[in-house]
Amino acid sequence: MTAQLTKRRKTKPKEMAVITDCCTGCAGSPVCQTLCPVENCMQLIHDDEHSPFGYIWVDPLKCIGCKKCIAKGDMGIFLEGCPWDAIKMTPLERVEQMYGKLEF
């Protein structure tokens, strides 16, 4: 329990990444997971409605709102992050409407 808590962020971000229905699971090798600096923040969930590769779920207790998962390339044009534009930075208030009041 203690180990889990120490991995949590110190403060809540103003906005967090939320994954939309556009997520394809990147054929089982999610690009976004390679960009996120927080361990187990972006988790690949397998389910029948998103077969065969499932979808990504962002743990709202871990996301630090750094936006690395939606980073743009050198020209500011090409997306280095999600190729399907399935990641939306979402205000904290909205995320807490989805999940309830979040702990730190």
Judged by beta carbon, residue 85 or residue 97, the one nearer ligand SF4 is 85
Is residue 84 a contact residue for ligand SF4 (CB under 6 A)?
yes
Q: Which residues contact 97 (CB under 8 A, 6 or more apart)?
A: none
**Least separation in angstroms between CB 77 and ligand SF4:** 17
SS3 assignment, position 70:
helix
CA separation for the pair 12, 7 (Å, rounded) = 13
Which stretches within 1-104 are classed as H helix?
2-6, 31-35, 92-99
Is residue 18 a contact residue for ligand SF4 (CB under 6 A)?
no
Binding site for ligand SF4 (CB under 6 A): 16-17, 19, 23-26, 30-32, 35-36, 38, 41-42, 56, 58, 63-69, 82, 84, 86-87
